[in-house]
Amino acid sequence: MADEVIDASASLATARPQSQKRTAAIVPERSVAGRTLVLLIAIMTFLSGVTLGGVVLVQKSAIAWSSDVGREVTIQIRPVEGEVMDSNIRTAIAVAEAIPGVASAHALSLADSEKLLEPWLGAGLDLSQLEIPRLIVVELGDPKAVDLNLLSRDLQAIKGASLETHAAWRQQLNTMAGTLVLSGVLVLALIVLATILAVVFATRGTMATNREIVDVLHFIGASNHFIAGEFQGRFLSLGFRGGVIGGLGAILFFLAVASATGSIVPDQAAAQLGFLFGRFSLGIDGIAGIAAVVPVIAALTAITSRLTVRRFLSQTS
């Protein structure tokens, strides 16, 4: 500690008072506190990057869900006594294809309809005795140009026919995605708050440890502005270093998860994860978002340390 005081005072004394050139290492670069703060910031940046990446994946998946669901509607043909099912199906397909904006319409086979019931009724059941409604999938070329009300009115001429637009499913998907995104933003805010508190405590601890150096600097005429700038520069360096480590760790995490879902996770589980999160592909915007966290964390660390130092010095002066 004595050597640090001598080095700091000698360096500052040889500097020109007008510029207060920063040649003194007021805050030691290689110290236990510095390494601990770098590790802490790296962890916080990693958590921030993973949270932000998860929000991006959920948002992308929600947009894809809504787009896919919005481009299809379903016509259900229920069995009606005295009506020929195949004839009603052909009529419904013709009615749907006659609507402007409809790209195509095709009926699901009876076997496909039975497979849709397996998650609720179980596999291996004989459903031949049940009157299973038939489904017609209508693909929309331009969802905005299709008059679904007109299609619904035209289908009323077919007994047992009804139109399902999936609007309720789209609303539920959008609500769920919005809830997850909001939760992610709140978690990100808590991580940022925890980072600020950690930097505050680290700065105050560093100030207390280097109190002799600060007293010497005050004695030889250094201003609070100069001292705070020194701490800001050192903590900016520590924050940037930890941010880079944490940011690279978050990007590697998503790359590892994407690789694991394709090779380690069973096919069914991978399909479910792919449905929820795509293929864990962040894309350029996701990687750019995680990269943007690094300078934000570094700047936040520097600004927090400067304000903490200024307040500490004003209370002790």
pLDDT tens digits, residue range 271-300? 555 555 555 677 788 888 888 888 988 888
Mean pLDDT of 204-222: 75
Reported as a pLDDT band with limits 50, 70 and 90, residue 245 is very high
Q: Can you list the alpha helix ranges (DSSP code H) found in the chain? A: 2-14, 32-70, 85-97, 110-121, 148-155, 167-209, 211-219, 224-263, 267-277, 283-316
Q: Is the pLDDT of residue 227 over 90?
A: no
Distance CA(175)–CA(187), nearest Å, equals 18
Nearest to 185 by CA among 59, 25, 16, 24: 59
Nearest to 310 by CA among 222, 227, 233: 227
Reported as a pLDDT band with limits 50, 70 and 90, residue 21 is very low
Residue 15 phi, psi dihedral angles, 5° rounding? -80, 155
User: How distant, in Å, are the alpha carbons of 126, 130, 196 from that of 85?
Assistant: 20, 14, 67
* SS3 state at 158: coil
Reported as a pLDDT band with limits 50, 70 and 90, residue 302 is confident
CA-atom Rg of the chain in angstroms: 32
| Tokens matching residue 60 | 């992308």
Mean pLDDT of 116-142: 73
- pTM score over 0.85: no
The answer for residues whose C-beta is within 8 angstroms of residue 133's C-beta and 6 or more apart is 76, 77, 78, 79, 113, 160
Q: Is the pLDDT of residue 194 over 80?
A: yes
**pLDDT, greater one: 40 or 280:** 40
Domain chopping of the chain, boundaries: 28-66+171-316, 79-159
| Tokens matching residue 180 | 């997850």
Q: What's the pLDDT score for residue 72? A: 83
pLDDT one-digit tens code per residue, 43-100 = 999 999 999 888 888 888 777 777 777 788 888 888 888 888 888 888 988 988 888 8
Distance CA(31)–CA(143), nearest Å, equals 62
Dmax over Cα atoms in the chain, in whole Å?
105
